[in-house]
Structure 1
Amino acid sequence: MKLVECPRDAMQGLHDFVPTDLKIRYLNTLLRVGFDTLDFGSFVSPKAIPQLADTAEVLAGLDLSGTQTKLLAIVANRRGAEQAAGYQQIQYVGFPLSMSETFQQRNTNKTIEQAFVEVAEIQHLSVGAGQQLVVYLSMGFGNPYGDPYSPELVSAFTERLAQMGIGIVAPSDTVGTSTPETIETLFRHLLAEFPAIEFGAHLHARPGDCSAKVRAALRAGVDRIDGALRGFGGCPMATDDLTGNLPTEEIIQTLHQEGVRFTLDEQAFAEAMQLSAEVFF
């Protein structure tokens, strides 16, 4: 099981700027926990996401000497991918491709077709930089805008991504609309149709809904799950304040209950939980 910790997603919508030195302390603590991947920052316009305008400074302060955790940075366009390509420390570049035309425009000021063109360009850049592109399918479980959605449409998007050579696709429950049933149905369908692709679950949920969603993903065969300590975060372009990331501590508890075993540094995890209160309150 690959656990992806997403402090970037947790921090990006905060109103008050988290000081760079505090971000660095928090991320360095998370790097000692033993997560597979740390979604640590983004190379996007500071006008759009001012909270992460210091990503390059933060990266310079990270201690990667004793960790196996890989770094992931989100980009919203080719320019961001070019910036990310300049850092050998970054193994993954993430791009949000929306299933909803309305949300794609809202999130990146592009149509879906324009975004597909950009995905191809970013994939080329990432391969050249020795990085791997992770495509997040925003609104991957439906949308509130009335735009077309179906599991077959997710498959059609995935087929286009597979033809570009993209190996990791993460359907994302941007506004928390998924249910355990829709999660299991979608991932069973995708895993059977695209066995060569690694599928990740980037789910958002209301309080109390995490465990059932994780179990549904597990039943479908998913072995890559995103979370954030205490369930902080969610998309700032969405509107439901109660819908946050899956709480990492609840993901871990659920996985243990389901017999999934992995090794984390419990002391570092406890320190990160304590420090998260300083970052987010």
Structure 2
Amino acid sequence: MTTVQIREVGPRDGFQNEPETIPTADKIRLINGLGRAGFSRIEVASFVRPDVIPQLADGVEVLHGIDVPDSVSLMVLVPNSRGLDNALVQREYFHEVALFVSASETHNKKNVNRTVEESMADNDVLVKRVVAEDLTCAAVIATSFGCPYEGKVEMSRVLDLAERFAEHGATELGFGDTTGMCNPKYANEFFAAAIERLPGVEVTAHFHNTRGQGLANAYAALEAGCRSFESSFGELGGCPVPKGSTGNIATEDLVSMFHEMDVQTGVDLDVVIGSAREAQQVLGRKLTSHSIVSGPINWTPGVDVVGH
């Protein structure tokens, strides 16, 4: 029986793209609910400058306020050395650090105002600092499957960056389809190659549903051997750069698909759907996941149903 891990990233990747700031108390309540859904990993905060991402300016308050089972590993995102300095002041409240770079020069420049090499020179040092703190270091490579400014991003370029992260001590490599440019055929080819090239490293798929191919891409990655995924409840999220980059694949839709395929996630689908519906109320608008509307599937394989 196949088992996968899913990291819920909505509390960071999702909330940061909301046009209005979500009250801290609501964030804490939603994260606490997700923490009881069976996730082993949740991304909860970012140590980015508050003037850049004001929606996450209350990250410290969130870290101090949430109450999730001890079995849940909490991740924070760090953009640079100063961000890591600030994060380490709160060292006791989280377990994993995500570092990032874009594979595309143009996207990296627009996102963090640095060249890729400038970001990587900093990341080389940051990885070692994170590992020295006995924290899990997960490196994320954005625009791994294409860039809205430059078009196709060569696989070799992405995997070269991944290998550099791994050589410095990163134990997880996440590959982000930042603006939803991947397709299932390429997802299968890419993750087969990444798994082969990065032995001993956890390879994670992070797909967006911008063009409606997110779940198909996740299935293709699964078939290639990927067993680690990231998603966002309610299909929250997207990339601030550029406009039109819509949300991550919905956690509840991903879990539903895997469970229907007899792939084990350890996640309680009903609880995730409940959290997504609660987020919908907090935000005051309809979210775009399918499972919010349909609920979990209510038939058993092999049992006839009426209708077509």
**TM-score, scaled relative to structure 2:** 0.86
Amino acid at match of 1:150: E
* Identical residues among aligned pairs (%): 30
1:248 aligns with 2:251: yes
1:24 aligns with 2:21: no
- Say if 1:249 and 1:266 are closer, same or farther in 2 by CA, change over 3 A: closer
Q: Give unmatched runs, 5+ long, in structure 1.
A: none
Task: Extract structure 1 runs of 4+ deviating beyond 4 A.
Answer: none
Instruction: Provide the residue aligned with 1:35 in structure 2.
Output: 39
Bigger drift between 132-141 and 232-241 goes to 232-241
- Say if 1:211 and 1:147 are closer, same or farther in 2 by CA, change over 3 A: closer
Instruction: Provide the residue aligned with 2:297 in structure 1.
Output: none
Shift of 1:88: 1.8
Instruction: Provide the residue aligned with 1:203 in structure 2.
Output: 207
1:121 aligns with 2:125: yes
Instruction: Provide the residue aligned with 1:183 in structure 2.
Output: 187
RMSD (Å) for aligned C-alpha atoms: 1.6
Amino acid at match of 2:92: Q
Report the Cα distance in structure 1 between the residues aligned to 2:211 and 2:108, rounded to whole angstroms: 27
Report the Cα distance in structure 2 between the residues aligned to 1:214 and 1:187, rounded to whole angstroms: 10
Report the Cα distance in structure 1 between the residues aligned to 2:209 and 2:266, rounded to whole angstroms: 25
Report the Cα distance in structure 2 between the residues aligned to 1:160 and 1:229, rounded to whole angstroms: 31
Amino acid at match of 1:275: E
Select the residue among 18, 21, 24 that pairs with 1:14: 18
Contact 1:34 1:68 (C-alpha < 8 Å) held by counterparts: no
- Say if 1:269 and 1:142 are closer, same or farther in 2 by CA, change over 3 A: closer
Within a 5 Å distance, the mapping from 1:1-281 to structure 2 comes to: 1-7=4-10, 8-64=12-68, 66-86=69-89, 87-146=91-150, 149-206=153-210, 208-241=212-245, 243-266=246-269, 268-281=271-284
Q: Give unmatched runs, 5+ long, in structure 2.
A: 285-308
- Say if 1:255 and 1:38 are closer, same or farther in 2 by CA, change over 3 A: same
- Equivalent pairs, count: 279
Shift of 1:119: 0.7
CA displacement, residues 105-153 of structure 1 (integer Å, 9 cap, x when unaligned): 1111111111111112211221222211211110000112227721111
- Say if 1:267 and 1:151 are closer, same or farther in 2 by CA, change over 3 A: closer
SS at match of 2:95: strand
Q: Which has the higher strand share?
A: 1
Larger radius of gyration: 2
CA displacement, residues 49-82 of structure 1 (integer Å, 9 cap, x when unaligned): 0000000011110113x34111111111111112
SS at match of 1:200: strand
